[in-house]
Structure 1
């Protein structure tokens, strides 16, 4: 038998194993997601409204003779441009920001379910974690653009319409334009924390409910629900355990001394909510079975990985805050209201004297005090309500006279109150006061105040 030698040229080539695909870098996925996030018409419309809406609103109010005095800082919109930005911030925390988080974060995962593109995206990226990170960062970027546009538009509109003038704080003291600018900026930065919390809830709902509209509506429902809860009477610890309190706790920046403890607690709680909700959304996402085309959500895991952990977070946070702060009840009592009203009246009395071109006075000369009573003393002297009545007493400088003024107070459960003057007429009886330059708003006719809900030492 003769052996033959095969021609090397005719030998079959060895089989080449395909190299394992590497996941696409997060930066490339993020660029792709940013294009997708900014492409929808609704996002572009929201950005346009944020750019022009606050400025147009402030200009419109500036042309009116009446002011939104029932809105925090609304009564000062004709006096300083910084008040318009704070009015915008109050509206944004109640309505705009929950809506934005629903439209952006609440739809970031559900949009893939509606278009049926999950399989293509997973094959292209080859990493669940990088897809989740890119989508979360993209939605956060859109929200930052929207909040920045609101802030810039409200500030520019206010400064152009009214000017860079001093702002009156919630206890009646005057803030210089520079101080007001810094605190307005800080207030807008602080509301980013609850916005992140609602955005994380949106991510959780978008993953859990898939193409169902519940995922899209969840951040708005949660945000509005928390705002409604802040108007109800509840213990202080429960109020602080809800991230919605951070949308209003920035009020403490505009008192002297500043009420920082509630604000810092509210921001910390909001950030904890953001971390926990984002983690739960991630766990749901990486455990989802994308091979089953009929399953576009987390199913029964919505309860175990969504609802129960968030309810548990509220319970744990409430217990920790109750133990750490020692706060009980509503946090509103007679002594706090009396001290707040007396302080605000003294500051505003000095402002009124300055407007009337009278000799300057100091708080030490006035020796202001307030005696407040709720429901004519027939109920416990604590808690919110519109049945508080305060009598303010002060010493008139230069004469041996003691002045008195009466105010009716409407105290909200969140600590904010409106004091409405009830005489005498020459002090707080009229909306306007007569000066040499004409009639100007009377700062003592009606004013806002804020009570620190935490125990003061």
Structure 2
């Protein structure tokens, strides 16, 4: 009997977090739906980017979509925009939202506890395994989209959000950083999934919780909320990576979004661990912790959100929407000047610099009625520039649609020689007109300079 007890103790000591992690990882990867997700994430983006890049029409309403014919680095950014909106919330729901609840459905908690003999090690192993699978899926999306773009279109310069040209090496670095930055909000959603999986047991709401939270944050981002409230949402980092592609980079909102997302990730994981360690595993009919789980899991997150809003509001001077007339004018004029140089090169005209152009923009919202700030599709701008040796200044009209996140699309409204057509005729072939539609970004914060 003593020898048997000693053997049991030795076996228990050998079930470390590393062994438990390997066991949980094998369990996850043995599920057919996880295998299908891994396969889809590593293959589908490449096929999509390659197929779209060969089409005559492009997703011009998608950020960087209009440049998919021009450079292979636009493809992974189009995939990133889609992933942040739909793919990553759904992936975290399938993986993190089910990693604990699956044991409730199968009734295997008691067997697992007998084998591992430590709820703490079980929790750590399951969380690490779930995060590993999520990281594998995100890496697949990034690598597949990049490979599809580079192979199909080529390693060419990328036009940034303010119109300046990024060299291939610079574009590659920023694309990598953009994908790395969205790991923070992905971790936040994964932690919410762990919390829902622990707190709600067999209930399907645990599986759907990350996707529902992400959908709620997307709806909130479309509303004209104050800047402090917008930046305090952990999902803001899913769109704040846009600031990496301006010059200088708008990193203020991005850093705040990453910090908020990581805070949520740590807090939600800690709450999930607390609920897991307090659980009664002897109850075979457990179906969530009821009101206690809601109190311990939901109320602290509501308090965390209120605290985050307060901290962001105090530390950043921006109030209201953050979209002001002077910012819109400066952003559009800067983007126009950069893209005018690009059009000049396409048409083989004499080279000109941004300093020589001295581009300015005069913008009004709602024909000058009401406050000249805030998002909307009723912005109208007149851009003025000068060419060396030409006494008469050139002008171009743009209609702007500015989103609540500061991103805008400027549609050219004449003259036709400048921005009136989608294509421009070069000496060799027709090429996309960079001045026909302009993607840009208005920085919401007042703390960093704008290019």
Q: Same fold (TM over 0.5)?
A: yes
Q: In structure 1, how many angstroms separate the alpha carbons of the residues matched to 2:184 and 2:108? A: 32
8 Å CA contact 1:72, 1:90 repeated in 2:
yes
| Residue 18 of structure 1: how far off its partner (Å) | 3.5
8 Å CA contact 1:54, 1:88 repeated in 2:
yes
* Structure 2 partner of 1:89: 80
Between Structure 1 and Structure 2, how many residues are aligned? Answer: 444
| Residue 397 of structure 1: how far off its partner (Å) | 2.1
* Structure 2 partner of 1:11: none
Find out whether 1:59 has 2:12 as its counterpart: no
Change (3 A) 1:43 1:17: closer
The residue correspondences of 1:190-209 to structure 2 (distance < 5 A) are: 190-209=181-200
Residue number among 232, 239, 255 corresponding to 2:230 in the alignment: 239
* Structure 2 partner of 1:251: 242
Structure-1-length-normalised TM-score: 0.95
* Structure 1 partner of 2:114: 123
Output the aligned Cα RMSD.
1.3
8 Å CA contact 2:199, 2:294 repeated in 1:
no
* Structure 2 partner of 1:273: 264
* Structure 2 partner of 1:403: 394
8 Å CA contact 1:284, 1:301 repeated in 2:
no
User: Per-residue CA shift, 1:34-72, capped at 9, x if unaligned?
Assistant: 100101000000011111101111111122111100000
Q: In structure 2, how many angstroms separate the alpha carbons of the residues matched to 1:78 and 1:414? A: 26
The residue correspondences of 1:39-54 to structure 2 (distance < 5 A) are: 39-54=30-45
* Structure 1 partner of 2:100: 109
User: Per-residue CA shift, 1:180-237, capped at 9, x if unaligned?
Assistant: 0000000000000000000000000000010110100001111122112111110101
* Structure 1 partner of 2:59: 68
User: Per-residue CA shift, 1:242-279, capped at 9, x if unaligned?
Assistant: 11110000000000000011000000100000000000
| Residue 16 of structure 1: how far off its partner (Å) | 7.9
Find out whether 1:393 has 2:387 as its counterpart: no
Change (3 A) 1:172 1:15: closer
8 Å CA contact 1:102, 1:202 repeated in 2:
yes
User: Per-residue CA shift, 1:349-381, capped at 9, x if unaligned?
Assistant: 000001000111011110110000000111100
Q: In structure 1, how many angstroms separate the alpha carbons of the residues matched to 2:359 and 2:388? A: 12
8 Å CA contact 1:288, 1:297 repeated in 2:
no
Residue number among 21, 24, 36 corresponding to 1:30 in the alignment: 21
| Residue 296 of structure 1: how far off its partner (Å) | 3.2
* Structure 2 partner of 1:174: 165
Q: In structure 2, how many angstroms separate the alpha carbons of the residues matched to 1:49 and 1:294? A: 36
| Larger Rg computed on CA atoms | 1
User: Per-residue CA shift, 1:144-170, capped at 9, x if unaligned?
Assistant: 100111111001100011000000000
* Structure 2 partner of 1:307: 298
Residue number among 334, 357, 369 corresponding to 2:348 in the alignment: 357
In structure 1, runs of 5+ residues without a counterpart are: 1-13
* Structure 2 partner of 1:5: none
| Residue 15 of structure 1: how far off its partner (Å) | 7.9
| Residue 17 of structure 1: how far off its partner (Å) | 9.4
SS of alignment partner, residue 420 of structure 1: strand
8 Å CA contact 2:381, 2:398 repeated in 1:
yes
User: Per-residue CA shift, 1:60-116, capped at 9, x if unaligned?
Assistant: 112211110000000000000000000000000000000100000000000000000
| Residue 291 of structure 1: how far off its partner (Å) | 1.0
* Structure 2 partner of 1:77: 68
* Structure 1 partner of 2:288: 297
| Residue 303 of structure 1: how far off its partner (Å) | 2.1
In structure 2, runs of 5+ residues without a counterpart are: none
Residue number among 370, 383, 403 corresponding to 1:379 in the alignment: 370
Structure-2-length-normalised TM-score: 0.97
SS of alignment partner, residue 438 of structure 2: strand
Change (3 A) 1:404 1:282: same
